[in-house]
Structure 1
Amino acid sequence: MKKPPILWLNVSLFTITFLVAAVGTPLYLFYQGFSWGLFTAFAALAIYAGISITAGYHRLWSHRAWDGHWSVRLFFALGGALALQNSILHWASDHREHHKHVDHKDNDPYSISRGFWFAHIGWMLREYHEHRYNDYSNVKDLQKDKIVMWQHKYYLPLMLFMNVGVPLLIGLALGQVWGALLIAGFLRLVIGHHTTFFINSLAHVWGKQTFTDRNSARDNGWIALLTYGEGYHNFHHIFSGDYRNGIRWYHFDPSKWLIRAFSWVGLAKNLKKANPYQIEKARLEMKIKRVVAKKPWLAERLHEEYEVILAEMQAYYQTQKQWLTRRKQIQRQLRA
C-alpha cells in the first residue's frame, strides 16, 4: 500500500524547533546563565498558549461547552496562534472527527489504534486525510463566529507575530534577545506542542477507565498536571459537552477554574455540566464491571444491588434538582 505524501513543512517545523530548543537552550544557559526574567517570560507564554488550547480551542469552540465574551474569544484566538497548532476552525474540525470516530483506524485523525507515535505526532507528518483537509462542514457553527474566521484568515501573520514578534519584544525589553527567542520562543513552543500531543497519545494508554471502556481514553491526574486539566480524558470522552474535565474539587483543572472565574465577572455564560446522575451511573457500571471480571460468581448479586442503588441515586438527584429549582424561584421573587 502506497504511503501518503510527507508533509515536509510539518516535518521541518517539528525537527528544527526541537533541535534548536534541545541544543540552543543548554548552550545559552551554559554561557549566559539563568535569568528570572526569561524564566518568567517562558512560564507566562507557556501558560497562555496552553490554556488557550484547553479552555478555548477545546472546550469553548470544539465542544461548545460554554460561551465566551468577545474579548475572551479574542484572547484565546491570539493564544491559540501562539500555541502554533493551526487555526481554531481547523483544530476544532479535526477534534470533532476524533470524537465522532474515536479509535477508528482510518476515520479518527489521530487514532491510538495506529500506535503511540502516530497518535502523538505521526498523524501530522503525512497527508493521511487529504480528502478532508479543507472540509469544514462539521464546524459550520464556528463559521458564524467573526473572531474564529478572522483568526483563520490571518493565521499565518498572527502566528508569526505571536511566536517571533512577542519573544523578540520581550528580549529587547530584557536586553536578552537571543535568550528570549530560544527560551520563550523555541523551548516554550516545543514543550507546549508535546504536552498537548500527550492528550492524544499518553492519555489513551495510561490511566484508569473510570467511566467507560467503550474507548481507549484514560483518566490520569499526572497528565492533568502537564495539560491544564485535560488528563481526565476518560470522563471527557463520555461527557464531552461538560466544561469541566476534572469534576472533583481537588482535581487539577485550571481550565475549569478559569472558565468559572470568567463566569463570575460576566465574561462567560452557559457553562454546561453533565447530568450528575448519569456521571455516577457510568462510574458505578465500571466499578461493577471490574469486580465481575475478577469474581464472575458475584454478577447476579451485584446486578440486583446495582438496580437498588440506581433507584436511590435517581431519587436523590431528582430531589436535589427540585430543591435547586425552588431556590432559584425564591431568589427571583426576592429580587422582583
Structure 2
Amino acid sequence: MNSSNKPPLIWLNVLVFATTAILALIVAPLYGYYQGYGWEHGIWFLITFSFCNLSITAGYHRLWAHKAYEAHTSLRYIYAIGGAFALQNSALHWSSDHRPHHKFVDNNDKDPYSAKRGFWYSHIGWMLRNYNADIYHEYGNCRDLQKDKVVMWQHKYYLALALLTNFGVPILLGVLYNDLWGMILIVGAVRLFLSHHSTFFINSLAHIWGSQPYTTKNTARDNGFLAVLTFGEGYHNFHHIFESDYRNGIRWWQYDPTKWFIKSCSWVGLAGNLRVTPKLRIEKAKALALLSKAKNNLSEVPNNVQVAIRLQDECELLVKYMSDYYEIKKKLLEGKKETLVKRYEHSVLKLEYEQIKLRFHEQQLAWNQMVKQYA
C-alpha cells in the first residue's frame, strides 16, 4: 500500500506503545541500576501480569470471543476489570477484531491482522493506523455480546476503568512500599509492555513459528515456547481449527494455565458448560493434516501420482476404522451407565470393541509408517 493511501495514524495508540516501550526498555533498567528493586516489585509484577493476561486469555478470548464456556457474573466482572488493566480496549471491541480474524484468517482484505501482511503488521502495525474502522460500526459481529450486561458496563466505562487500574494500582503500591517510581515502572510500564507484546505474539509469531499438526489450511502454528509466554495460547494451530474448545493445549503435559484456571473455576461453580472437541474430530484432523503435508512433498517422488492415490486410500481407511472405533467406544461407555443392559449384550459389544480397536491401531501404525516418509 502506497504511504499516501494509508489510513491516518491513531496517535493515542502510537503514544501508548512508544511510551511504554521507552519506560520498560530504557528507564526501568536505569532506575533499577541506580535505585534497585526489591522482592515486592517482582511479586506484584507477577500478580498483576498474571491477572491481566488471564483476563485476556480466559475472559476476552475464550469466554467472550469464542463462547468456549460460561462464567459466573462475578468472574465476568473480574475479567472486565483485568481486561481494562491490560489496556487492550474493551471486550466488545477486542472480540469484534478477533472474530473476523478467525472467519477470514490470512485474507489480507478481511483479516484485521493477517499474518500474510508481514510480522510487523500482524504484531502491532495494524493497531497504529485506522485500518479497520468499518469493523467497529455498531459492532455488528458481536450482537450477542451487546446483550451481556458486564460487557456493556465495561465498554461504557472502559476509559475510567483503564485509567483507574493502570495509574491507581501502581501508585497505591508505590505509597504502600514507599517507592512510587519503582512501582510505576515495574507494575505500570514493564507489566503493560510485556502484557501487550506477549498477547501480540499470538497474532504474529504464532502464525510464523511452530508446527501444524491439525491443519495446513492457514498459517497458525503450535509452539510450546510461545504457550509459556502467553498463558497457553501458543497452541494456535489447534485453536484455529477448534476455536470453540475451552482448551488450547489438549495434552496433560502441554502448558495451558488458562485451561487449568477455567477448569478450576468450574469445580467451584464459577464456570460451566466447558466445550470440548470430540476426540474423533481431533484425530481426523491430524490424519488429514499429515495427508496434506505428504501430498505437498510428492513432486520429486517417483510415481508420485500412484503414491498420492495410495496415501489417499490409506487415509480414508484409517478414518473409517477410527470412526468405527470411537462410535463403538461411545456405545460401550453408555452401556455401562445403563443398568438394564444385559450382561451378554454388553460382553458381545466389548468383544466387538476390542476387535475394532485392534484393527484401528494396526491401520494407524501402517498409516504413520507410510505417510511419515513423505510428510
Question: Does residue 45 of the first structure (1) align with residue 54 of the second (2)?
Answer: no
Cα distance in 2 for partners of 1:88, 1:325 equals: 40
| Structure 2 counterpart of 1:125 | 128
Instruction: Report the Cα offset of residue 305 of structure 1.
Output: 2.1
Identity of aligned residues (%): 53
Larger relative contact order (Cα-Cα within 8 Å, sequence gap ≥ 6) = 1
1:80 corresponds to 2:83:
yes
Partner of 1:59: 62
1:266 aligns with 2:269: yes
Matched, 1:9 2:4: no
Is the deviation greater in 53-62 or in 170-179?
170-179
Instruction: Give secondary structure in 2 for the equivalent of 1:121.
Output: helix
Q: Number of aligned pairs? A: 330
RMSD: 1.4
Cross-structure match for 1:254: 257
Q: Deviations over 1:271-326 (max 9, x none)?
A: 00112111111101112232343343532332222222212211221123234444
TM-score w.r.t. structure 2 length? 0.85
Show CA shifts across 1:85-121 (max 9, x none): 0000000111001111111111111111211100000
CA distance in 2, matches of 1:327, 1:184: 53
Which of 208, 211, 214 is the equivalent residue of 1:211?
Answer: 214
Once the two structures are TM-superposed, the CA of residue 204 in structure 1 deviates from its matched residue by: 0.5
Matched, 1:309 2:312: no
- CA offset at residue 327 of structure 1? 5.0
1:148 matched to 2:151? The reply is yes
How far apart, in 1, do the equivalents of 2:274 and 2:160 lie?
A: 32
Counterparts of 2:246 and 2:338 in 1: how far apart (Å)? 25
In the alignment, what sits opposite 1:321?
Answer: 330
> Against the structure 1 CA distance between its residues 303 and 146, is the aligned structure 2 distance closer, same or farther, given a 3 Å change threshold?
same
Note the C-alpha offset of 1:78: 0.8
Q: 1:70 aligns with which of 61, 64, 73?
A: 73
- Structure 1 residue runs of 5 or longer lacking an equivalent are 331-336
Q: Which residue of 2 aligns with 1:278?
A: 281
Distance 1:59 1:314 in 2: 28
CA distance in 2, matches of 1:248, 1:137: 36
Of 82, 104, 113 in structure 2, the residue corresponding to residue 110 of structure 1 is 113
**1:238 pairs with 233, 237, 241, which one?**
241
The residue aligned with 1:333 is: none
Evaluate the alpha carbon distance shift between residue 3 and residue 266 of structure 1 in structure 2; reply closer, same or farther with a 3 A threshold: same
Q: TM-score, normalised by structure 1?
A: 0.95
The 1:324/1:66 distance shift into structure 2, 3 A limit, reads farther
- Residues 324 and 138 (structure 1 numbering): CA distance in 2 closer, same or farther, change over 3 Å? farther
Q: List, as ranges, runs of 4+ consecutive aligned residues in structure 1 with deviation greater than 6 Å.
A: none
Q: Which amino acid aligns with 2:327?
A: Q
Give the Cα separation in 2 of the matches to 1:243 and 1:105.
Answer: 28
Using the TM superposition, give the Cα deviation of residue 24 of structure 1 relative to its aligned residue in structure 2, in angstroms. Answer: 1.5
Q: Deviations over 1:117-147 (max 9, x none)?
A: 0000000111112233333111111111111
Counterpart position of 2:163: 160
Instruction: Tell me, in whole angstroms, the C-alpha distance in 2 between the residues paired with 1:56 and 1:278.
Output: 26
Match of 2:188 among 185, 188, 195: 185
Q: Which has the larger radius of gyration?
A: 2
Deviates further, 42-51 or 30-39:
30-39
Q: Which amino acid aligns with 1:313?
A: M
The DSSP-based 3-state class of the residue aligned with 1:236 is helix
Q: Which runs of 5+ in 2 are unaligned?
A: 299-303, 340-375
CA distance in 1, matches of 2:312, 2:6: 49
Q: Return closer, same or farther for 1:290/1:96 CA change in 2, 3 Å cut-off.
A: same
